[in-house]
Structure 1
């Protein structure tokens, strides 16, 4: 399971910068996503995560622009806090604490504020379905190292983040699905204090 989690953490991006190469309707969709993500004042959800070894984990997801926290309860207690260019994972089961830079990590693409998908980021794909929208992004200056996909429900013109998917340079896949998503919650800044911080 920890290998699956680290696969999520070590993703890297690819391709050239921006989304000006996309058709006008897809550019509009990307702009909607940017506007939505930058307007989130606080979000909480339950999550289920599947990694490259098909290991499944679950817990609580807390997000606000530039900050993310995952509290794992399955298969055992772990705490992940990301923001300010760094990620800290505290595995309460083993006592191990992992520190990572988000500089070359696509998870960092989710933690910029404001989120802009035209500055050093490449939008590689936009897909619209029945009541759904997703965008795939990567760092522009590190070709073929990985990909991050943000998934949204899109109902009556309203977006809601419902999942993340990715693949790393070794073709390890992960997915995180969100449930019971609540937006507009007040999140105390100390929630994003790294373990031991």
Structure 2
């Protein structure tokens, strides 16, 4: 499962300092009013993967698009081209013309959970994220930061927390693993229909 998290969340975080004032009580309703959850979204990403055992970072970049509740296409262009396609039923990874991974939800139940979490993160479905995580955060002048702490023991074996930051859209994500590795992703040039 650890390897699967690495593929799916390959650098998806940026930890930022802010002068934001915390909620008196963290309010998911306020987040829903602030964030957009379009039917489709596309854009570019840059990511840094930090490997604690080697004390090194790996940089990559590419483009992505999603159709809400249908598919996410994660296309890494540099330094090595790789395409990951995620649907509620499957996760597939392709390099060049070679399929390097294909997982089906009917034979691997973790696929459904990963898809649900990934779609919920990208589309700001806060109530759905509350199923898997304890949410805390702050909002300041249209900017927000949210920390997700896993409730489920299977998820917490792979990740210690996820940090999200954005405005109407998710702009930065940091996926922090229990072994000290983390993935830091910044989104830009976001477009929706």
**Are the structure 2 counterparts of residues 4 and 120 from structure 1 closer, same or farther at C-alpha, using a change threshold of 3 Å?**
closer
In 2, the alpha carbon distance for the partners of 1:121 and 1:6 equals 15
Instruction: Give the alignment of 1:29-108 within 5 angstroms.
Output: 30-34=28-32, 39-53=37-51, 54-66=57-69, 67-92=71-96, 95-100=98-103, 101-105=110-114, 108=116
Change in Cα spacing, 1:38 to 1:4, as seen in structure 2 (3 Å) is same
1:163-182 deviations in Å (ceiling 9; x for gaps) = 22111232310011111111
User: Given the alignment, which residue of 120, 131, 145 partners 2:131?
Assistant: 120
Cα gap change, 1:25/1:125 in structure 2, threshold over 3 Å: closer, same or farther?
closer
Q: What is the deviation of 1:88? A: 1.4
What is the SS of the residue equivalent to 1:52?
A: strand
Paired positions, count: 163
The alignment status of 1:111 with 2:111, answered yes or no, reads: no
Does the 8 A contact of 1:45 with 1:60 survive in 2? yes
Which residue matches 2:26?
A: 26
Change (3 A) 1:134 1:51: same
Q: How does 1:176-187 map to 2 (within 5 A)?
A: 176-183=185-192, 185=193
| TM-score normalised over the length of structure 1 | 0.65
TM-superposed CA distance for 1:130, in Å, is 6.0
What are the equivalent positions in structure 2 for 1:168-179 lying under 5 Å apart? Answer: 168-179=177-188
Aligned: 1:152 with 2:161: no
In the TM superposition, residue 140 of structure 1 has moved relative to its aligned partner by 1.8
Q: Corresponding residue for 1:9?
A: 8
Q: Name the Cα RMSD after superposition.
A: 3.4
Unaligned runs of 5+ in 1: 12-21, 154-158, 186-197
Which position in structure 2 is the counterpart of 1:194?
A: none
CA distance in 1: counterparts of 2:89 and 2:148, whole angstroms: 18
5+ residue gaps, structure 2: 11-21, 52-56, 104-109
Check 1:182–1:171 CA distance in 2 against 1; reply closer, same or farther (3 A cut). Answer: same
